Amino acid sequence: MTTSSLRLRAGLVSIVLLAAFLGIWHLAVRSTAPVATMSPEYAKLMGLTATQGKSAMPGPFDVGVKLWEHLKRPFYDNGPNDKGLGIQLGYSIARVGAGYLLAVLVAIPLGFLIGMSPLLSQALDPFIQVLKPISPLAWMPLALYTIKDSSISAIFVIFICSIWPMLLNTVFGVASVRKEWINVARTLEVGTIRRAFTVILPAAAPTILTGMRISIGIAWLVIVAAEMLVGGTGIGYFVWNEWNNLSITNVIIAILLIGIVGMLLDQILARFTRMVTFPE
Amino acid sequence: MATFDDPFDADRSLQSGCACGRHRSASEHEQAALALRCEPVESEEKRYEGVVASALMRAMFPQDLARRAFLKSVGASTALAALSQFFPLQTATEVFAETGAPEKKDLKVGFIPITCATPIIMAAPLGFYAKHGLNVEVVKTAGWAVIRDKTINKEYDAAHMLAPMPLAISLGLGANAIPFAVPAIENINGQGIVLATKHKDKRDPKDWKGLKFAIPFDYSMHNYLLRYYLAEHGVDPDTDVQLRSVPPPEMVANLRADNIDGFLAPDNICQRAIYDGVGFMHLLSKEIWDGHPCCSFAASREFITTAPNSFAALTRAIVDATAYASKAENRKQIAEAIAPANYINAPVTVLEQVLTGTYADGLGGVKTDEKRVDFDPFPWQSFAVWMLTQMKRWGQIKGDVDYKAVAEQVYLATDTRKLMTEMGLTPPASSYKSFAVMGKNFDPAKPEDYLASFKIRKAS
């Protein structure tokens, strides 16, 4: 059995699963509810759910048509509260990028420091253990109250949620660099700084990158919730705005896009991880 | 006269135009003179001109007798001509209409996407802000707590708030005490009690024990009206039913999912529940208290003192928009203007039903009530006093409260009256009025007696 034929068969199964899913979805939301008789002028004032027994849940075709509409013009701007999906995703990615980069700038140097010093590692451990499990959204009211700016608050929330996996992985990666390698460096009288960059960093890089990969996933999860909370712009706001209009079709489209963008972000980090991985 | 007319014709006047020279013909001059009298005028500019001219006349003739004698002897048109000789009436009118350049032109105003915010929202697409020299961005906001925080944080210069919220913020209930002010009420009426369709035979509130109701916010007229309504029917809102604070859009979804039995909510949400076939209109809030305030236009004291001209222009735009929205014939146009995703984001049919008052009741009937929602900007201080009595009744305020002082500090009836008079509108002369809620009279002068008269209230 060659790998190419396995891949082919896996792809086929994927397509069959997708088709089955769409088929079941389509059947499940068919209009089946009994329609009450009503006068025409009354019916004119009512929605399709009430007049034609149309399910409140849109079918795959409704979603497809709407998705096509969005894809045709992703960057329209009808004012502060109505922008195209492309723009909304752009805002979200920019927020995630800002919060995440800040977290990288803090977590990796700090992780290095903690990983190289057993004293710091033990002293800071209780704080990290307490702060780590806090849901990032729990910070939101506090952030809004102290920072007094909702978009910076959103970035702060991304920062605080993506810092822990990176920090812990960096600490772990740095602390578990093989003793022999460090000893060899010592024997060759390599300085501390040089040792950190030429021996420890390359050795710990795969672990650090894994932490970064976990972080980006969490950051993307959190941004949607954060934007739903503070509103204004972003894909989370889009979900909220369409939820406000009870437009489930648009909510489903947003869910799909959130999934795709999340996958792309993860793939990018995965590629970086492969680049720094080394065989032992 | 035309260029080629014979200047030596004795029957022709060489002077083209009128006596004062500012109008093209004598008849136009007459028209302008008419505007100086206190008669209703159509356009806003004319209204301002009238106001300015009458102020000028008053200044010149402090005694009315002298003014009348002067007008009688020379006639109104000559008087106008004479006046405009040495006083630039036109320029003064323009200056007056602007009343000082706004300190800050680009403003952000937050709103919640419900029809209560109609004047705030429509002022953007229909150009009321632009008319008063402002460039306002109206920003949709996720919920009442967020709009409160963003206004306190100065991300918004002013905002759409539930009428009791500025009182609560000023008193420091549910937030740090920050002085806020209400220059205008947004809408009156326009809410409703919607029940799930399965309760269509349960119309008597006495049978509602054990039901779950949703309200949009704790400091809302919705909360106070629902509690009032239940209590009047002998149902204690704190012990006999469950009241939950739920964001309006989630109310419809929760009603569909059977998580709640009904809600007292702002419109378009009520009508939306009917439109989607999940509930019916039990009662319009108008039937509890006709003319009750619902939402307000609010700003912090700090904004008012640092940018008084911007604030005045903003208030004028809102008052203008509110006046426009109060006319039934404009309602359809407004419904279309505020329906897109940039504003309320709701089906036009739903908004039309709310604004025009011809609506499906959810039980198969079509009802008409033109005053289902109405718009009246005047911030009656008695409204504030009533809300304070209810806040105290339900334990939101503990201890004593100086009703009058708080009402006067937050509800800017005096300033709004002045502004409305300047705009040529006729605001009420008093800031207090008594009114009846479910047939029970409220006298704003005796809030404590009113409070004591309720049997059902939170024991404090």
Per-residue pLDDT tens for B306-319? 998 899 999 999 99
| Among A42, A80, A244, beta carbon nearest to B360 | A42
Residue type, B385: V
Cα angle B225, B295, B329 (rounded to 5 degrees) comes to 105
Of A175, A208, A181, residue with least CA distance to A275: A208
First to last CA, chain B: 83
Phi and psi based region of residue B194 (left: phi greater than 0; alpha: psi -120 to 50; beta: remaining): beta
**Beta-strand relationship, B180-185 and B295-300:** antiparallel
Strand partners, B189: B373
Q: How many CB pairs under 8 A join A and B?
A: 101
ipTM of this model? 0.74
Of A87, A244, A157, residue with least CA distance to B141: A244
Q: Which residues of B touch A244 (CB under 8 A)?
A: 113, 248-249, 345
Q: Which residue has the tokens 């000559």?
A: B78
B154 touches chain A (CB under 8 A): yes
| Among A145, A230, A245, beta carbon nearest to B142 | A230
B265 touches chain A (CB under 8 A): no
Cα angle A139, A140, A146 (rounded to 5 degrees) comes to 90
B146 touches chain A (CB under 8 A): yes
| Among B142, B248, B364, beta carbon nearest to A240 | B142
Q: Reduced to 3 states, what is the DSSP secondary structure of residue B450?
A: helix
Strand partners, B264: B193
Residue type, A71: L
* Number of other CB atoms surrounding residue B410 within 10 Å: 26
Low-confidence stretches of chain A (pLDDT beneath 70): 1, 31-36
**Element spanning A97, H or E:** helix A85-116
Give per-residue burial for A54-91: e unless 16+ CB within 10 Å, then b: bbbebbeebbeebbeebeeeeeeeebebbbbbebbbbb
Q: Where are the beta strands (DSSP E) in B350-455?
A: 358-360, 366-368, 373-374, 435-437, 440-442
Token digits of residue A130: 């307490």
Q: Which residues of A touch B365 (CB under 8 A)?
A: 42
Q: Note the residue count of chain A.
A: 280
| Residues 6 or more apart in contact with residue B172 via CB below 8 angstroms | B178
Token digits of residue B132: 């008063």
Q: Which residue has the tokens 């068919």?
A: A30
pLDDT of residue B442: 92
Cβ pair B456, B241 in contact under 8 A: no
Whole-number Å distance between alpha carbons of B216 and A204: 52
Strand order in the sheet with B135-140: B135-140, B106-111, B158-162, B295-300, B180-185
Whole-number Å distance between alpha carbons of A153 and A171: 27
B369 touches chain A (CB under 8 A): no
* Number of other CB atoms surrounding residue A277 within 10 Å: 11
B342 touches chain A (CB under 8 A): yes
Nearest Cα residue in chain A from B140: A81
pLDDT of residue A138: 86
Interface test mutation site (partner A, options B109, B112, B122, B149, max chain A beta carbons within 10 A): B149
How far, in whole angstroms, is CA B387 from its chain's centroid? 17
pLDDT of residue B364: 85
| Orientation angle between helical segments B331-338 and B308-325, nearest 10 degrees | 120
pLDDT of residue A199: 87
| Among A38, A144, A241, beta carbon nearest to B341 | A241
Whole-number Å distance between alpha carbons of A80 and B113: 13
Interface test mutation site (partner B, options A37, A82, A87, A244, max chain B beta carbons within 10 A): A244
Whole-number Å distance between alpha carbons of B209 and B235: 7
A125 touches chain B (CB under 8 A): no
Cβ pair B25, B17 in contact under 8 A: yes
Nearest Cα residue in chain A from B136: A80
B91 touches chain A (CB under 8 A): no
Q: Which residues of A touch B360 (CB under 8 A)?
A: 42, 45-46
Low-confidence stretches of chain B (pLDDT beneath 70): 1-62, 64, 76, 79-99, 175, 459-460
Nearest Cα residue in chain A from B155: A149
Q: Which residues of A touch B140 (CB under 8 A)?
A: 80-81, 231, 241
Token digits of residue A167: 């920090």
pLDDT of residue B1: 38
Whole-number Å distance between alpha carbons of B36 and B133: 26
Whole-number Å distance between alpha carbons of B323 and B426: 11
Strand partners, B184: B297
Min Cα separation B350/chain A (Å): 7
Enumerate residues 45 to 74 of chain A having a beta carbon within 8 A of any beta carbon in chain B: 45-47, 49-50, 56
| Residues 6 or more apart in contact with residue A6 via CB below 8 angstroms | none
